[in-house]
Amino acid sequence: MNRLKLSLLALIASLSVSTMGASIDHIQNYSAEYGGNPAQQGAINVGSTVYFNPAGLMRLENGTYIVGGIQYAFGDQNMSQGGRDFSTNLSSPIPNFALYKKTDDGAYFWTMGGVGGGAELEYKDSIPLIIDMPIIGQVDGNSLLNGANLKGSNIYAQTTVGKVFNLTDKWSASLAIRGVYGKRTLKAKAETNKLGSFVFGTDGAKIDSEREAFGFGGQFGLNYAPNDKLNIGFRYDTTVKLNFKTESDYDKSNKIANILLGQYPVYVDGLKTRRDLPALAALGASYKVTEQWTTFIGGNYYFNESATMDRVGSMNVDYKNGWEISVGSEYWFTPQIAWLVGFNYADTGAPDKSFAATEYALNSTMLGTGVKYRPNETIEWTVAFNHYIYDSRTVNDIKYEKEISSIGINFVKKF
CA 59 – CA 332 distance, rounded (Å): 19
Q: Each residue's pLDDT tens digit in the chain (415 positions)? A: 333 344 444 444 434 445 565 667 788 889 999 999 999 999 999 999 999 999 999 999 999 999 999 999 898 888 887 777 777 788 888 899 999 999 999 999 999 999 987 677 777 666 655 443 444 445 555 566 666 677 778 889 999 999 999 999 999 999 999 999 999 888 878 777 777 787 777 887 888 889 999 999 999 999 999 999 999 999 999 999 999 999 989 888 887 777 767 666 777 888 888 889 999 999 999 999 999 999 999 999 999 988 887 666 555 677 889 999 999 999 999 999 999 999 999 998 888 777 765 567 888 999 999 999 999 999 999 999 999 999 888 887 888 888 889 999 999 999 9
CA 95 – CA 91 distance, rounded (Å): 13
CA 346 – CA 52 distance, rounded (Å): 17
Question: What pLDDT, on the 0 to 100 scale, is given for residue 358?
Answer: 53
CA 9 – CA 129 distance, rounded (Å): 8
The region, left, alpha or beta by phi > 0 then psi within -120 to 50, assigned to residue 301 is beta
> Which residues have CB under 8 Å from 178's CB, separation 6+?
158, 159, 160, 216, 217, 218, 219, 237, 240
Domains, the chain, ranges and CATH? 3-414 (2.40.160.60)
- Judge whether 172 and 56 are in contact, CB under 8 Å: yes
Nearest C-alpha neighbor of 187 from the set 147, 244, 149, 145: 149
Nearest C-alpha neighbor of 39 from the set 221, 293, 231, 299: 299
Helices (runs of H) and strands (runs of E) counted in the chain: 5, 21
Q: Which helix (H) or strand (E) holds 196?
A: helix 194-200
> Which residues have CB under 8 Å from 137's CB, separation 6+?
1, 2, 3, 4, 144
CA 354 – CA 248 distance, rounded (Å): 23
CA 16 – CA 28 distance, rounded (Å): 16
348 alpha carbon, distance to own chain's centre: 11
Q: Where are the alpha helices (DSSP H) in 37-178?
A: 49-52
CA 358 – CA 77 distance, rounded (Å): 8
Question: What pLDDT, on the 0 to 100 scale, is given for residue 18?
Answer: 53
Q: Which helix (H) or strand (E) holds 403?
A: strand 398-414
Question: What pLDDT, on the 0 to 100 scale, is given for residue 122?
Answer: 74
- Judge whether 285 and 296 are in contact, CB under 8 Å: yes
